[in-house]
Chain A
Amino acid sequence: MISIQNLHKSYVTGNNSLHVLKGLDLEIKEGEFVSIMGSSGSGKSTLLNILGVLDDYDKGDYYLNGKKIWGLNETQAAITRNAMIGFIFQSFNLISFKNAMENVALPLYYQKVNRKKRNLIALEYLDRLGIKDWAHHLPSEMSGGQKQRVAIARALISKPKIILADEPTGALDSQTSLEVMEILKEVNDQGITVIIVTHEHDIAALTRKIIRLKDGVIGEVITNGDLQMYRDKVKQE
Chain B
Amino acid sequence: MFDVDIWQEIFSTIRKNKLRTFLTGFSVAWGIFMLMVLLGSGNGLSNGVKEQFAENAVNVMWMWTGETSIPYNGLKEGRAVKFNNQDYDFLTTKSKEVEKVSSRYYLPNDILYSYGKEYGSFETSTCYPSLKEMENINIKSGRFINDLDMLEFRKVVIIGDEIRKALFKEEDPIGKYIKIGGVPFYVIGVSQSKKRNQDNNRSAYMPFSTAQRIFNGGDRVHTFTVTSKMVQTVEEAEAINEKVRLDMANRHAFDPKDKRAMGSFNMLTEYIRTMKIFQAINLFVWIIGIGTLIAGIVGVSNIMLILVKERTKEIGIRKAIGATPFSVISLVLLESVLITTVAGYIGLVMGVGLMELINFGLEQATGAGGAENVFFKNPTVDFKTAVSATLILILSGALAGYFPSKRAASVTPIEALRDEN
A106:B320 contact, CB within 8 angstroms: no
**Main secondary structure on B side of the interface with A:** helix
CA distance A82 to B417 in the complex (A): 16
B414:A55 contact, CB within 8 angstroms: yes
B321:A81 contact, CB within 8 angstroms: yes
Q: Which residue of B lies closest to A73 (CB)?
A: B325
B324:A79 contact, CB within 8 angstroms: yes
User: Which residues of B from 323 to 378 have beta carbons under 8 Å from A?
Assistant: 323-327
CA distance A49 to B314 in the complex (A): 17
The answer to the question of A78 belonging to the interface, with a C-beta cut-off of 8 Å to chain B, is: yes
Stretch at the interface among A109-117, A186-194, A203-211: A109-117
CA distance A110 to B412 in the complex (A): 17
The 6 closest A-B pairs by CB, nearest first: A82-B322, A110-B322, A78-B324, A75-B324, A107-B321, A74-B325
The answer to the question of A149 belonging to the interface, with a C-beta cut-off of 8 Å to chain B, is: no
Contact with B along A87-105 (1 / 0, CB 8 A): 1010001111110000000
- Rounded to whole Å, the gap between the CB of B276 and the closest CB of chain A is 54
CA distance A109 to B319 in the complex (A): 12
B324:A110 contact, CB within 8 angstroms: yes
A111:B12 contact, CB within 8 angstroms: no
Query: Of A54, A79, A94, A115, which is within 8 A of B414 by CB?
Result: A54
B320:A97 contact, CB within 8 angstroms: no
The answer to the question of B170 belonging to the interface, with a C-beta cut-off of 8 Å to chain A, is: no
A87:B324 contact, CB within 8 angstroms: no
A79:B322 contact, CB within 8 angstroms: yes
Q: Which residue of B lies closest to A80 (CB)?
A: B322
Identify 16 new A-B residue pairs, CB closer than 8 A, beyond the known A82-B322, A110-B322: A54-B320, A54-B413, A55-B412, A74-B325, A75-B326, A79-B324, A81-B320, A83-B322, A87-B320, A87-B321, A89-B417, A93-B317, A95-B314, A95-B318, A97-B13, A98-B12
With contacts A49-B414, A89-B417, A93-B313 taken as known, whether A111 is within 8 angstroms of B321 at the C-beta atoms is: no
Chain B CB within 10 Å, residue with most, of A54, A55, A87: A54
- Rounded to whole Å, the gap between the CB of B413 and the closest CB of chain A is 5
Taking Cβ atoms with an 8 Å cutoff, the residues of B that contact A are 4-5, 12-13, 16, 313-314, 316-327, 409, 412-414, 417
CA distance A75 to B417 in the complex (A): 18
With contacts A106-B321, A110-B324 taken as known, whether A115 is within 8 angstroms of B4 at the C-beta atoms is: yes
Q: Which residue of A lies closest to B316 (CB)?
A: A93
Query: Of A54, A74, A94, A97, which is within 8 A of B12 by CB?
Result: A97
CA distance A107 to B409 in the complex (A): 18
Q: Which residue of B lies closest to A86 (CB)?
A: B321
Which residues of A are found within 8 Å of B412, using beta-carbon distances? 54-55
With contacts A54-B413, A55-B414, A110-B327 taken as known, whether A97 is within 8 angstroms of B322 at the C-beta atoms is: no
The answer to the question of A154 belonging to the interface, with a C-beta cut-off of 8 Å to chain B, is: yes
A78:B323 contact, CB within 8 angstroms: yes
CA distance A173 to B89 in the complex (A): 112
The answer to the question of A52 belonging to the interface, with a C-beta cut-off of 8 Å to chain B, is: yes
The answer to the question of A35 belonging to the interface, with a C-beta cut-off of 8 Å to chain B, is: no
Contact with B along A56-93 (1 / 0, CB 8 A): 00000000000000000011001101110001010001
CA distance A106 to B319 in the complex (A): 11
Query: Of B13, B314, B322, which is within 8 A of A81 by CB?
Result: B322
Which residues of B are found within 8 Å of A106, using beta-carbon distances? 318, 321
Taking Cβ atoms with an 8 Å cutoff, the residues of A that contact B are 49, 52, 54-55, 74-75, 78-79, 81-83, 87, 89, 93-98, 106-107, 109-111, 115, 154, 158
- Rounded to whole Å, the gap between the CB of B334 and the closest CB of chain A is 15
A82:B414 contact, CB within 8 angstroms: no
Which residues of B are found within 8 Å of A75, using beta-carbon distances? 324-326
- Rounded to whole Å, the gap between the CB of A85 and the closest CB of chain B is 9
- 28 interchain pairs (CB within 8 A)? A49-B414, A54-B320, A54-B413, A55-B414, A74-B324, A74-B325, A75-B325, A78-B319, A78-B323, A78-B324, A81-B320, A81-B321, A82-B321, A82-B322, A83-B322, A93-B317, A93-B320, A93-B417, A95-B314, A95-B317, A97-B16, A107-B321, A107-B322, A110-B322, A110-B327, A111-B322, A115-B5, A158-B321
Which residues of B are found within 8 Å of A54, using beta-carbon distances? 320, 412-414
- Rounded to whole Å, the gap between the CB of A220 and the closest CB of chain B is 27
Query: Of B316, B323, B409, B414, which is within 8 A of A110 by CB?
Result: B323
Which residues of B are found within 8 Å of A110, using beta-carbon distances? 318, 321-324, 327
Query: Of A78, A89, A93, A107, which is within 8 A of B325 by CB?
Result: A78
Which residues of A are found within 8 Å of B409, using beta-carbon distances? 74
CA distance A87 to B322 in the complex (A): 11
Chain A CB within 10 Å, residue with most, of B314, B316, B318, B321: B321
- Rounded to whole Å, the gap between the CB of A150 and the closest CB of chain B is 12
CA distance A78 to B323 in the complex (A): 6
Which residues of B are found within 8 Å of A109, using beta-carbon distances? 5
Which residues of B are found within 8 Å of A52, using beta-carbon distances? 320
Chain B CB within 10 Å, residue with most, of A83, A110, A111, A158: A110
Which residues of A are found within 8 Å of B4, using beta-carbon distances? 115
Q: Which residue of B lies closest to A74 (CB)?
A: B325
CA distance A111 to B5 in the complex (A): 13
- Rounded to whole Å, the gap between the CB of B328 and the closest CB of chain A is 9
- Rounded to whole Å, the gap between the CB of B90 and the closest CB of chain A is 81
- Rounded to whole Å, the gap between the CB of A87 and the closest CB of chain B is 5
Which residues of B are found within 8 Å of A115, using beta-carbon distances? 4-5
Which residues of A are found within 8 Å of B12, using beta-carbon distances? 97-98
Which residues of B are found within 8 Å of A154, using beta-carbon distances? 321
- Rounded to whole Å, the gap between the CB of B7 and the closest CB of chain A is 12
